[in-house]
Structure 1
């Protein structure tokens, strides 16, 4: 009886861990038709880095890559040129005119990438229109017919993109990435300072911090970098930049603390971003660059305690870092 109990327990453990592994990686086949001759590299986008995971050579104008890949945003590159796409399905078929660039990408088989490429196209058109309409409305008389038409168009265009994103199936990576990438709503008559305040408050409203798959893309990195640029302000004085960046650090670290993996990444990214503005924090830079250093777990029972240690240590560093007075390089 005891042996049966142990065997049953072992089968449960194997099935659970096997399921988790299956969720992490899938057997995937990627086909690129109309591919030029030569070798291609498949790279996973992780923040600003491209991690090469596979490569292949075209045969008769067709490129085929097969393997176990993590779900995420990938780039297919040849001689420094390429395009990105989502890898999260067992079979993906794409076609592109390599000389025409990423805009020529056609999705032959992949629900994820049909949604994703459509989102990217709509996003670029939407933000391009909004950047034109909003300044125009601010320059016209509010009682004029042109102002009313422009205002209506502003909200129609802005709402159209959000409506499209809401239609993307929630279980897809395309939905996760699009929601995280989506900018917050703005009113047409906001001044630039009002826009900045609104964006700082709502910039991460649609980000699902609990989903670590965001790290397998450049979406979160771009989102955080843009946010810190908004916090710094355009043409601001050094004291203003310092105050804005401190506020940004508080907001970001508070938002990410529920997910230790994303929290750790945000810490390292913040240090790099602060350095680009000439801000340094000597007391915490080393810890922020290596937040898990010297935190080791030993034995089968160490997992939970080790994870608790990491979370506590990260929270301690977050609190110290967020309240440390930043200094500009050279001061």
Structure 2
């Protein structure tokens, strides 16, 4: 029976090899009970199933015609917890491993890309084990010496650095041996440049701080001109880590600087540029960082390569709306019916200060904020404050019952169109509650984020 299975595999293998223009992936996972394997395409944080293979008599799974997929990192999944990352790049792939320890038992029978990939991972695990042992010994020494270095601890530190350098050396060697391969470039992209190695280079001058070095070199190992890297997690992970490391303190200036640095590198390839731009837009659209979103649209989106006209109009319009909602601009018109059906015009309300509260009757955050908002209204209404509560609701009974339940005595209006209301667009409402403070001429004074900011704005307008 075993001989028959082996014969079946080689018959299959031989048949596949006869096709000069097609490639296959054959994966035998010993001990796996699954009868099905799914091949996933990886792109940043997303993965999409693109092919399915069923268990063959040979005991493995075969995906055919994989040459149709672009080069990159893919995932072969057997169930939610058992999967393997593999590189597809216009070559045949034959893998075998044991389910108890897939990584360390992996044998790459065919595929230069995956021989490099798994060779690195297996080597990295051995290096990491040694580094952990050295680190543990070094920590014990430092504890015994109350943090003071001695010859033994310094020697261990040098040994740790030497071991870590071997991972860089592994990648460098594979790059020399296989200059056209994707695997070395992908592996290098995951490596953060080393300031220590930089200082060891001939003629390299030190930076004022280690942080300054990493700001200038954090992205050096990612080739933004190579769109193949998009078919992996590496660009997404690197940009996310860059934001995490250099986005603090969280300010518009810091985020804009990060965007400028990444987009300058991404400008070398249309596909990479569009991916990075969309990633930033996804991160900053509908957030408190409205100025960052505007910076993205005005400086990069309108200059991108292939614009979808309808999407371009949407983003340009949204950027314009946000800019028109800044302090000093006149608030957009609001003419909506109150709970009795009478139209209320924002511009006709006479008050020294107006507070517009956009809320929803079924919003828990709004419910939590109501006691503070009601107190502010009661404290300042005799000084000239009027509140206009704009309910982003679509059910009249819910809206009216909420007014009664919360004893809302201010002006309450709604067109009962929910998030489809034109007012949502004109005031860029993406979360509730959202609050605007206006002066008596309906000029926007502030978009406060809590009771303290509301009171500070009202004191400025009323007194």
TM over 0.5: yes
Alignment equivalent of 1:47, drawn from 14, 39, 44: 44
Q: 1:195: how far off?
A: 4.3
Structure 1 distance, partners of 2:122, 2:220, is 22
Matched-pair contact (CA < 8 Å) for 1:231–1:247:
no
Secondary structure, aligned partner of 2:22? strand
Matched, 1:31 2:26: yes
Match of 1:152 in 2: 158
Matched, 1:106 2:107: yes
Q: 1:75: how far off?
A: 0.4
Match of 2:183 in 1: 174
Matched-pair contact (CA < 8 Å) for 2:70–2:228:
no
Matched, 1:73 2:73: yes
Matched, 1:90 2:99: no
Q: 1:217: how far off?
A: 1.3
Q: Trace 1:194-233 onto structure 2 (pairs within 5 A).
A: 194-233=209-248
* Bigger RCO (CA 8 Å, 6+ sep): 1
Structure 2 distance, partners of 1:252, 1:229, is 14
Match of 1:6 in 2: none
Q: 1:105: how far off?
A: 3.4
Q: Trace 1:185-264 onto structure 2 (pairs within 5 A).
A: 185-187=194-196, 194-233=209-248, 237-239=249-251, 242-264=252-274
Q: 1:46: how far off?
A: 1.2
Distance 1:154 1:238, change over 3 A: same
User: 1:37-75 CA distances to partner (integer Å, 9 max, x unpaired)?
Assistant: 422111111111112221111112221110132221110
Matched-pair contact (CA < 8 Å) for 1:86–1:113:
yes
Q: 1:286: how far off?
A: 6.8
Q: Who wins on radius of gyration, i.e. which is larger?
A: 2
Secondary structure, aligned partner of 1:70? coil
> Larger deviation: 280-289 or 266-275?
280-289
Matched-pair contact (CA < 8 Å) for 1:231–1:248:
yes
Q: 1:153: how far off?
A: 1.4
Matched, 1:293 2:302: no
Structure 2 distance, partners of 1:64, 1:89, is 16
> Larger deviation: 83-92 or 28-37?
28-37
Distance 1:214 1:118, change over 3 A: same
Structure 2 distance, partners of 1:52, 1:246, is 35
What is the alpha-carbon root mean square deviation over aligned residues? Answer: 3.8
Match of 1:58 in 2: 55
Structure 1 distance, partners of 2:153, 2:286, is 40
Matched-pair contact (CA < 8 Å) for 1:228–1:273:
no
Q: Trace 1:136-151 onto structure 2 (pairs within 5 A).
A: 140-142=147-149, 144-151=150-157
Secondary structure, aligned partner of 2:75? strand
Structure 1 distance, partners of 2:127, 2:236, is 22
Match of 1:283 in 2: 294
Could you tell me the TM-score, scaled by structure 2's length? 0.50
Structure 1 distance, partners of 2:108, 2:308, is 46
User: 1:78-101 CA distances to partner (integer Å, 9 max, x unpaired)?
Assistant: 232311111124311111333545
Structure 2 distance, partners of 1:265, 1:203, is 19
Could you tell me the TM-score, scaled by structure 1's length? 0.68
Distance 1:72 1:131, change over 3 A: farther
Match of 1:16 in 2: none
Q: 1:76: how far off?
A: 0.6
Matched-pair contact (CA < 8 Å) for 2:34–2:79:
no
Secondary structure, aligned partner of 1:254? helix
Q: 1:194: how far off?
A: 4.5
Q: 1:30: how far off?
A: 0.7
Q: 1:103: how far off?
A: 5.2
Distance 1:212 1:30, change over 3 A: same
Matched, 1:270 2:280: yes
The number of equivalent residue pairs is 270
Q: 1:102: how far off?
A: 5.0
Match of 2:414 in 1: none
